[in-house]
Amino acid sequence: MLNIALPKGRLGDQVYALLAQIGYDCGSIYEQNRKLVFESKENNVRYLLVKPSDVAIYVEHHAADVGIVGKDILAESRPDVYELLDLGLGKCRMCVAAKSDYMEDKDRTLRVATKFVNIAKDHYAKLNRDIDIIKLNGSIELAPILGLSDVIVDIVESGSTIRENNLKIIEEFMPISARFIANKTSFKFQNETIRQMVDKLSMVLNQIEGR
Ligand code: PRP
């Protein structure tokens, strides 16, 4: 049986629809209950519903064979997994943003609030810019508003959160989308099953995008 780690939340619904298109229907996932494991005997798969930021952890540690996860999480946590396919879902971009009247002072250490500590450090290391990181876990946009940081490094999807909190985007530096990943051992021993899944996903994506 193939264990598939799927993200809960906004990316989840798009992922379930895509899986249904390749015959891996996870219909009962839509039921409003607190179940976290769903089995499809027909396809010989088990779906595990996990927090988006935990998908790669389940796959890396072989609690799941494959999973679907945002590139932001992969870039941040750099798990030892195979990244097999860009699904083109959940598209957004990693940005630097600040209050709309923010003016940078290059002589001062920049205070950066973010969930993505490694991504932010890498970004500013490339720019040779000294920073202090303030690690937050959510509602990052509050940090510059309250003077906790000068800027934030965060994902922007529709741009509503930035707009509605009177912030401005200063830089966009990393396009993000959902990726299909596999555990390295599973890829070796369940290669045929995983490859077939990747092929089917590629076919459906090509049809959708006409590529
Ligand atoms: C993410 C991100 C931004 C927002 C961007 O937060 O951290 O706050 O979405 O989306 P938008 O451009 O469409 O407004 P999330 O909704 O995951 O919640 P969080 O604040 O708890 O991290």
Model confidence over 24-51: pLDDT tens digits? 887 677 666 788 888 888 889 999 999 9
CA 141 to ligand 1: nearest atom = 8
DSSP conformation class of 27: G
Q: What is the DSSP letter of 1?
A: -
Residue holding tokens 């209950």? 33
Q: Is 154 in the pocket of ligand 1 (CB under 6 A)?
A: yes
- CB 156 near ligand 1, within 6 Å: yes
Alpha carbon distances (Å) from 194 to 3, 31, 40, 65, 90: 11, 27, 16, 9, 22
pLDDT at 210: 66
Ligand 1 site, residue 159, Cβ cutoff 6 A: yes
- Which residue in the block uniquely carries the two structure tokens 């720019």? 127
Strand order in the sheet with 131-135: 131-135, 110-114, 151-156, 92-99, 167-176
For the CA of 164, the closest atom of ligand 1 is 14
Query: Average pLDDT, stretch 185-190?
Result: 98
Spatial strand order of the sheet with 2-7 comes to: 37-40, 45-50, 2-7, 66-70, 178-182, 82-86
* Beta-ladder partners of 86: 179
CB distance 177 to 87 below 8 Å: yes
- Whole-number Å distance, alpha carbon 153 to ligand 1 midpoint, is 11
**Amino acid type, 181:** I
User: Does residue 125 register a pLDDT over 80?
Assistant: yes
138 CB within 6 A, ligand 1: yes
Q: What percent of the chain has pLDDT over 70?
A: 97
Give the model's pLDDT for residue 33.
75
Q: Which of 12-26, 128-142, 143-157 has the lowest mean pLDDT?
A: 12-26
What average pLDDT score do residues 177-196 get? 98
User: Can you give the pTM of this predicted structure?
Assistant: 0.93
Q: Tell me the mean pLDDT in the region 189-202.
A: 97
Mean of pLDDT values over 191-210: 92
Residue with token string 């015959």:
23
Answer yes or no: is the C-beta of 128 below 6 A from any ligand 1 atom.
no
| Mean pLDDT within 104-125 | 97
Six token digits for residue 21: 């298109």
